[in-house]
Structure 1
Amino acid sequence: MTENELSYKIIGAVIEVHRNLGIGLLENAYEIALAYELKQLGTDVKQQISLPLKYKEITIENAYKIDLIIEDKVIVEIKSVLELNPVFYSQVLTYLKLTNIKLGLLINFNSELIKYGIHRIVNKLINE
Structure 2
Amino acid sequence: MFDDSHLDQITENIVDACIQIHRDLGPGLFESVYEVLLADELERGGHKVERQKELPLTYRGRILEHAFRIDILVDQRVVIEVKATEKSARIHARQLLTYLRILRLPVGLVANFGLDRMIDGINRINNARMVP
Give the TM-score category using the shorter length.
over 0.9
Number of residue equivalences: 128
Q: Taking structure 1 as the reference length, what is the TM-score of the superposition?
A: 0.96
Which of 108, 111, 124 is 1:104 aligned to?
A: 108
Matches of 2:38 and 2:89 in 1, distance apart? 22
Aligned to 2:58: 54
1:66 and 2:70 are equivalent in the alignment: yes
Distance 2:8 2:70 in 1: 20
TM norm structure 2: 0.93
Tell me how far apart the structure 2 counterparts of residues 121 and 68 of structure 1 sit (CA, whole Å): 15
Cα distance in 2, alignment partners of residues 85 and 15 from structure 1: 20
State the distance in 1 between where 2:105 and 2:12 align: 17
> What is the percentage of aligned positions where both structures have the same residue?
34
Shift of 1:35: 0.4
Pick the aligned partner of 2:24 from 20, 23, 42: 20
How far is 1:127 from its partner? 4.8
Residue aligning to 2:129: 125
Q: CA deviation at 1:20?
A: 1.6
Give, in whole Å, the separation in 2 of the partners of 1:83 and 1:42. 31
Instruction: Tell me the alpha carbon deviations over residues 27-53 of structure 1, each in whole angstroms, 9 at most, x when there is no partner.
Output: 000000000000010000010011111
Amino acid at match of 1:45: V
**Cα separation, 1, equivalents of 2:118 and 2:90:** 18
Deviations 1:6-44 (A, max 9, x none): 111111111111112211011000000000000010000
Distance 1:64 1:113, change over 3 A: same
